[in-house]
Structure 1
């Protein structure tokens, strides 16, 4: 290799070194910014941000001198009513009969309207026992005569779990609580004991 080739090779390596050092500086800056975002102080303001909102004082001076007449109608915010298909219980909170007399002239007050408000009440699940009674029937005449006496009775109602206590509604509650809501069986047992 001659002198020119060495010089060109050195120039190439210096350019490559400069490019790599610029890339390293960029990555170091990105790392510093990420570290600052994660571990540094977080402030809402930035330098120079205060000057953005200096207009408030200027506007106060302007509004004192200029008067504006604004006319508009404002809608009163209202809640959506609760669904009408839910069972309802109406409780009337009325004043006593003594209070239905005017304090000025002692005349009788009459009803001019009413205010209503709806509240949603949750009644927790109820557990109850369903007792199945199956009467037995026998013939008194056959019993007296000594002929074979047959006893008649309605068949046992079908059960999801043979000889079990659980009805389909109880099983669906347990399965839903276990697999949809993640409640372990021992917690459900504690809830049923309560």
Structure 2
């Protein structure tokens, strides 16, 4: 076996080993998550059984007298009481009213990014009966709401370094410091991770699997380091 073949084989083995380690890590995190969910469901089941089958006491407020269920009619009856006049009532069928403008109100917070127009083209623009060209008299507008899944974009930052041809003085333009030096993280990425974990209750292990579906290899440890570092550096002073 030549040296090049040995190098290729060694590289392939290293890539395979890395994939296996990543898979083992994901399975471990998944197992921990399932154990946590199992314990949580077990606690909820125990609480539900206690509420359903556990002993309960009913206390009445001061001055409350429990009704006698067996001779209530005899106690409350009055032979001299006059009968009320009965009026025949015909209940009207209930019809839910559609709230006007609700659809427009729901969509008012979102920007219209795409307009699809349906027009007559070619010979369809002429009346088949008399051959006269149609004239637009009105339009019908319908609005829909479309979901665009999360996507990742690479931001490339280029800094030009200048030098004076005469004296050799160097000049570098000012730029906004990076969120974390030497890291690919941006404020929007870290904020999204924090929001998913602490607002939506999505564990980092689940986020790691979600990122993997977008071909982004972002480990749980890396996200945890970002959260701790950014929380101490940017959120704690606030």
What TM-score results when the alignment is normalised by the length of structure 2?
A: 0.41
Higher RCO structure, 1 or 2 (CA under 8 Å, sep 6+): 2
What TM-score results when the alignment is normalised by the length of structure 1?
A: 0.49
